[in-house]
């Protein structure tokens, strides 16, 4: 929309008045998205997932008889016990990964985003993903779906390793920045 100089100025004045009366959101301050809100969202989601994991661990045996497990085309009927064992086995590295993720987010919140601790936590999470992947691969004897899950888990583990590498390079840059007076 092309406006003349005078119209532009009028529009700017109107905007100033509206912002002054809080009728028009000031982009920098009132925006819904900023990195703090995003961090809090990540933190809340992580806590929810941790609670869900614990709830799953407790309630899984009770789902034995229900339609959650039976009649599914993915499972052979006799391998239910095997699959349950695998799920519980994979629960351990998953829980470790989630707790490390929670610690990671808390660190970032305290402005320790590019430290050695962060690097170490990312390494642990990626190894947990790989272990879950291996456990899933063991489960392919029961159902082909586990192969896919294993592949996905290994992929996520690889991505996290790459993120860790990027963070390491970021640390170097931060160091140089910190020591620039």
Q: Minimum distance from CB of 173 to other proteins (Å)?
A: 11
CA 152 from chain centre, in angstroms, equals 15
Toward other proteins, which CB reaches closer, 6 or 181? 181
111 phi-psi bin (left φ>0, alpha ψ -120 to 50, beta other): left
Of 139, 132, 135, nearest in space to 153 by CA: 132
Q: Minimum distance from CB of 111 to other proteins (Å)?
A: 16
State the DSSP string of 116-168. Answer: HHHHHHHHHHHHHHHHHHHHHHHGGGT-THHHHHHHHHHHHHHHHHHHHHHHH
Toward other proteins, which CB reaches closer, 57 or 168? 168
Contact residues for other proteins (CB under 8 A)? 175-176, 179-181
> If you ran DSSP here, which 8-state letter would residue 115 be given?
S
Toward other proteins, which CB reaches closer, 62 or 179? 179
Toward other proteins, which CB reaches closer, 27 or 180? 180
Q: Minimum distance from CB of 36 to other proteins (Å)?
A: 24
Toward other proteins, which CB reaches closer, 78 or 176? 176
Of 37, 152, 153, 151, nearest in space to 94 by CA: 153
Residue carrying the six token digits 């039976």? 70
Q: Minimum distance from CB of 112 to other proteins (Å)?
A: 18
Q: Minimum distance from CB of 178 to other proteins (Å)?
A: 9
């Amino acid at each position: 929309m092309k406006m003349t100089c005078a119209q532009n100025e009028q529009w700017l004045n109107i905007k100033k008045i509206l912002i002054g009366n809080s009728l028009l959101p000031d982009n920098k301050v009132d925006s819904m998205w900023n990195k703090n809100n995003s961090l809090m969202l990540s933190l809340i989601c992580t806590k929810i997932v941790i609670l869900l994991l614990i709830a799953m661990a407790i309630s899984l045996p009770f789902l034995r008889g229900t339609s959650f497990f039976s009649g599914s085309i993915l499972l052979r009927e006799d391998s239910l016990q095997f699959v349950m064992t695998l799920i519980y086995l994979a629960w351990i590295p998953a829980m470790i990964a989630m707790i490390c993720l929670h610690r990671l987010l808390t660190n970032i919140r305290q402005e320790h985003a590019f430290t050695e601790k962060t690097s170490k936590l990312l390494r642990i999470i990626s190894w947990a993903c790989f272990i879950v992947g291996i456990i899933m691969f063991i489960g392919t004897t029961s159902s082909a779906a586990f192969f896919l899950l294993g592949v996905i888990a290994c992929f996520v583990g690889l991505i996290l390793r790459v993120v860790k590498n990027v963070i390491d390079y970021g640390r170097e840059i931060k160091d140089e920045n910190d020591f620039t007076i």
